[in-house]
A and B are shown apart, each in its own frame.
Chain A
Amino acid sequence: MDRKMETTDNTLAAECRTGNAMKFRVLVERYKKPAYFFALGMVGNPDDAYDLSQEAFVKAYRSLDRFDENLSFKSWLFTILSNLCKNALRSASVRKKYIASDKTLEEAAAPSETNPEVSYIAKETKKMVWDALAELDNEAKEIIILKHFQDMSYQEIAEVLDIPLGSVMSRLHYARQKLKKRLEGMQR
């Protein structure tokens, strides 16, 4: 995320705080898709992901007074969303839906190949990675989604997870190791 965009986000947030609530819609339009896709990766089913991402915006709007303007709005929003997803995952109903919805996840992965055989193998590999991702603990899953699916920088991840920059590299490494072990386990 470039500095200009970040400044604009924070300016919009500041305008919302001074009573121009409709400016919040601009922020929603800007981040609704990243928020939804992050939640989908975390909880694994579209209904809950849609619901949780909307709830995160509602919480963000209600807490705008507490928003630290030294951070980026995006990082702050993702911190709220990440906490909501982790709370939801503690509920048995959401966990069950993740297990039952691997088809949804499989369909959600975009096939990029036109050759049927290559496409089939790519699809199977993707399915396996999705299954492995679903089995990871929340901490590992969260950091892999932030890096691989949101394409966040280490600085942004450090802000979202509220951890030192140096810890991002090591946490990401251990998360990838866990993913690798899961994949090895599935291939046996």
Chain B
Amino acid sequence: MNCQQAIIYISGRLDRELTPEQERELDLHLQSCPVCSKEYQEMLKIKEVTTDMRFTDLPDRFWASYWNGIYNRLERGIGWMLLSVGAIVLLAFGAWELLNNFFLDETVSFVLRLGVGAGLLGVITSLVSVLRERLFARKHERYEEVER
């Protein structure tokens, strides 16, 4: 066994995850290698200081309302999904009606149709632009690496 393998086996020993054969190999190496032996002692200390560490429990009222929080989220998720489906259906219907009864209606003045069409395109373009900018800003925060 070389030192590189030994230092990895040290973690396995600390966590009692080595096979008896691996334990024997590690023992043999530690007896003959002061560097790995020192590493083992240091890792043992790290294991000791972290072993005791536990979080204290939250007050019972947090746990009592935990399931309700999940249930509400699931319920809201269904609500949002239905709302989205409804909005898409209504928007599609509105667009279809607008196309048939306004833009393709030759009784309506061409200038009016052109004006409304350009205005609608402008609104859609602005909306897409704002959304894209927000999305970019969320992914790349300008000052995220600045230490305060």
Question: Real complex partners, A and B?
Answer: yes
Q: Are B77 and A28 within 8 A (Cβ)?
A: no
Q: Interface digits, A162-184 against B, CB 8 Å rule (1 contact, 0 not)?
A: 00000001101100100110010
- The answer, among A61, A153, A173, for a CB contact under 8 Å with B11, is A173
Stretch at the interface among A4-12, A66-74, A134-142, A144-152: A144-152
Q: Are B73 and A58 within 8 A (Cβ)?
A: yes
- The answer, among A28, A122, A147, A169, for a CB contact under 8 Å with B9, is A169
Stretch at the interface among B49-57, B87-95, B110-118, B123-131: B49-57
Q: Does B136 contact A (CB under 8 A)?
A: no
Q: Are A122 and B52 within 8 A (Cβ)?
A: yes
Q: Are B10 and A112 within 8 A (Cβ)?
A: no
Given the known inter-chain contacts A54-B66, A61-B74, please indicate yes or no for A129 contacting B49, CB distance below 8 A.
yes
Spell out B's residues near A (CB within 8 Å): 7-12, 15, 17, 42-43, 46-47, 49-58, 62-63, 66-67, 69-70, 73-74, 77, 141, 143-144
- The answer, among A54, A92, A108, A125, for a CB contact under 8 Å with B55, is A108
Q: Are B70 and A28 within 8 A (Cβ)?
A: yes
Q: Are B55 and A149 within 8 A (Cβ)?
A: yes
Q: Does A40 contact B (CB under 8 A)?
A: yes
- The answer, among B11, B47, B50, B67, for a CB contact under 8 Å with A29, is B67
Given the known inter-chain contacts A92-B141, A173-B10, please indicate yes or no for A25 contacting B53, CB distance below 8 A.
no
**Interface pairs (18), CB distance under 8 Å:** A28-B70, A32-B66, A36-B58, A37-B55, A40-B55, A46-B58, A54-B69, A54-B73, A61-B74, A62-B74, A92-B141, A112-B52, A126-B49, A126-B53, A149-B55, A172-B11, A173-B43, A183-B49
Q: Which residues of B contact A37 (CB under 8 A)?
A: 55
Spell out A's residues near B (CB within 8 Å): 25, 28-29, 32-33, 36-37, 40-41, 46, 50, 54-55, 57-58, 61-62, 91-92, 107-110, 112, 122, 125-126, 129-130, 144, 147-149, 153-154, 169-170, 172-173, 176, 179-180, 183
Q: Which residues of A contact B46 (CB under 8 A)?
A: 176, 179-180, 183
C-alpha spacing A153/B49, complex, angstroms: 19
B48 → chain A, closest Cβ, in Å? 10
